[in-house]
Structure 1
Amino acid sequence: MINAYQQYQQNYILSAPPEKLVVMLCEGALKFARLAKKAIEEKNYAEANNYLIRTQDIIMELNASLDMEYEISKNLRSLYNFIYQRLIEANLKKDGGVVEEIEPLLEDLKDTWQRVYIEVSGLGKNGK
């Protein structure tokens, strides 16, 4: 049975505009990457594996959602593929340094998509 909070979250996600969903995915990828890095530092490799796979899944979802009619999508695909490959390497080697290397990329993606969402939704107009 779904509790009220879970139902609220599900409704929020299902009703969110696409740009907001991308922001939420980027936030999730960043969160899981940071948790993976922490787990690697603590030598909890099973947990690190779980978090790295969750991050990889999010990056693959972002990659699959690209509309390749736009030039920017080609650049994003290259970036997503790079991040994905580095995540695989981090997982194989259990290397927190590789995760640390992609954190700024994930942060930039999140910030960029947040700005897109604000602009598209009109939230940034008139100080709102």
Structure 2
Amino acid sequence: MSLNRLNAYKQTSVKTASQGRLIVMLYDEAIKQMDLAVKEMSAEKKKFDTIHNAISKTQDVITELMASLDFEKGGEIAQNLFNLYMYFNRQLVEANIQKDIEPIKEVRKFMGELREAWAAIENTQVNSNPGANPGVNIAG
């Protein structure tokens, strides 16, 4: 498949995805970038530009997750997620400055658990309304 076709497919996937699916896709991208950063940090010959870019992309995704929170509808859950995302960003800043793998692993673990929770919520919505466009309330 050509790169243009692949990009077109990705754009269509994003444009037609439910809110819940978009959240899961954001988590998937963050996890992918953290895995890349960990891999590069573990390599004998470290590519510091690749590490920095992967951590920065992860932080961009976390910022998008923060922006998606609806504090009016989500209340305490949205606030707790916001606080977690702030913590994740601080950990990633520290990891990037110190080139320390442990904060990335910690954030990766938590984001993996949150991703699974969002995927379960999305699947519940899809299964309860198989014909409808499943919209997950991203309030938290």
Name the TM-score, length of structure 2 as normaliser: 0.83
Matches within 5 A, 1:5-44: 5-42=6-43, 43-44=46-47
Match of 1:56 among 54, 59, 72: 59
- Residues 94-124 of structure 1 show CA distances to partners (whole Å, capped at 9, x for unaligned) of 1011111211101011101101111122279
Unaligned runs of at least 5 residues, structure 1: none
Shift of 1:4: 2.5
Higher relative contact order (CA 8 A, sep 6+): 2
**Cα distance in 2, alignment partners of residues 37 and 5 from structure 1:** 26
* Structure 1 residue aligned with 2:50: 47
Q: Using the alignment, how far apart are the partners of 2:85 and 2:4 within structure 1?
A: 35
The 5-angstrom pairing of residues 84-123 of structure 1 reads 84-122=89-127
| Cα offset, 1:6, TM superposition | 1.9
SS at match of 1:122: helix
Which AA in structure 2 matches 1:65? S
**4-13 or 22-31: which moved more?**
4-13
SS in 1 for 2:96: helix
The one-letter amino acid of 2:115's match is K
Identity of aligned residues (%): 33
Note the alpha carbon deviations across 1:64-111, whole angstroms, 9 max, x for none: 110001121011001111111101110010101111121110101110
- TM-score normalised over the length of structure 1: 0.90
